[in-house]
Amino acid sequence: MRALSVTILLLFTASTVAADTYIIYGTVKYPNNTVVQYEEIEVQCEPHAYDCTKFSGEGGMSDFAGGYRIELPIEDQDEGVSIQLVVRGETFEHQITLHDEIQDGSDYYAMLNISLEQEPPISPISTGLLCGTLFFILVFANVLVRTGRQLMTPEGRQRFQGRSPMPITTCPTCNGKIRRHLLVRHLIVEHGIPVDKAGAMAGLQFSDERKDLDT
């Protein structure tokens, strides 16, 4: 009977103790005021801080907006215990105070905004994004420049508008204007030039014209 009452007493005590929660919350930021996203906040203890050890290993993670929340099961005797919050290798002291904090039922709320000393890292995602953007800009600029250069010639303008350039060329023999695809025939028929030589002459004429266009 005595053993039973002790058990009941223990159970009762245990349940009231477990009901108290100490909630540390706040925002984690870098010196430039940007928030620290998705970073772990871990509770650690100073060496030989035995009253702290039961909280060691507790922690939480900052969210998208840098907000975090750590819930610690607490008893009255934890008043004044010093714990450390570790974020990205930096340590922040916090002393548990049960009397000054806002109490809501059996929950205690302690606000602790954390400001890191380190500069924000350049995340691989944003580096990749930057590279991709730069590459895209370069390609776009290149296309723009080439298009611009092309638009400076009448032939290029026509090509840009989706029309093929006027296939007009100059006959290297009589200097007459003639459609390109007819030049070889013209050379053979009008000037009596052999077929193979006519082809070569036409090719030379076209490449000369292309050189003129490029300069």
Least CB distance to Zn ion at residue 138 (A):
47
**Nearer residue to Zn ion within complex by CB, 177 or 211:** 177
By CB under 5 A, the count of residues binding Zn ion is 4
**Nearer residue to Zn ion within complex by CB, 146 or 179:** 179
**Nearer residue to Zn ion within complex by CB, 49 or 188:** 188
Least CB distance to Zn ion at residue 213 (A):
22
Is 160 strand, coil or helix? helix
Least CB distance to Zn ion at residue 215 (A):
25
CB of 68 within 8 A of CB of 60?
Answer: yes
Least CB distance to Zn ion at residue 196 (A):
18
Least CB distance to Zn ion at residue 170 (A):
9
Neighbouring residues of 65: CB distance < 8 A, sequence distance ≥ 6: 27, 35, 37
Which segments of 64-215 are extended strands (E)?
A: 67-73, 82-87, 90-95, 102-104, 107-111, 114-115, 168-170, 177-179
**Contact string 156-195 vs Zn ion (x = CB under 5 A):** ---------------x-xx-x-------------------
**Nearer residue to Zn ion within complex by CB, 6 or 174:** 174
Neighbouring residues of 93: CB distance < 8 A, sequence distance ≥ 6: 82, 83, 84
- Checking 126-130 for CB contacts under 8 A at 24+ apart, the result is none
**Nearer residue to Zn ion within complex by CB, 157 or 197:** 197
Per CB under 5 A, 97 contacts Zn ion: no
Paired residues of 25 in beta bridges: 69, 111
Distance CA 188, CA 196 (A): 10
Positions that interact with Zn ion (CB under 5 A) = 171, 173-174, 176
